[in-house]
Copies of this chain bind each other. A is one copy, B any other.
Amino acid sequence: MAKKNHDPLSPAMLEQVAQQFRALGEPSRLQLMNLLFDGESTVGELVERSGLSLANVSKHLGHLHKVHWVTRRKVGVKVLYALADERTFGLCELMCDRVRSVTKAAVARIDAPAPKQPRRRG
C-alpha cells in the first residue's frame, strides 16, 4: 500500500513539467545555459564561445526562450539572451553532483572484488 498519495499531476501538467526537463536534456542547450551563467550575451558571442553553428545556437536559444529558461531582448541589430530563472545554477549543480557521485560509485564498483555471481550452467 502507498504511503501518502501525493496529488497525481494531470497529464497536461506532466507534459509541461517534462517539457521543462527536456529543454535542459540536451548538451548543446546545457552548454549555452552554462555560458549564460557568466551573464547576458548576444547570439554571436554565444556562437563564438560555444563553437556551435549560428542557426543551431539561434534555434536552441529560441527553444529555451519558448519554455522560459532564458529571456530575450533586442538592442539595435543584436539580440541579448540571459538566464530567466535564478534557480538554474542550483539545478545544474545538483545534476553535476549526481553525475559525480554516480561516477564515483561506478569506480568503486570496479575497484571492488567481483561480487560472487552464482555460476550459471553452460
A87 touches B94 (CB 8 A): yes
Name the residue on B nearest A103 (C-beta). B16
Number of copies: 2
A26 within 8 A of B: yes
Name the residue on B nearest A3 (C-beta). B39
Q: Is the interface of A mostly helix, strand, loop or mixed?
A: helix
- Other than the given A6-B38, A14-B27, A19-B25, 18 more pairs (CB < 8 A) read A2-B39, A2-B41, A4-B38, A5-B38, A8-B34, A9-B30, A14-B31, A14-B34, A18-B26, A20-B25, A20-B98, A22-B25, A23-B25, A24-B25, A85-B98, A87-B94, A91-B91, A91-B94
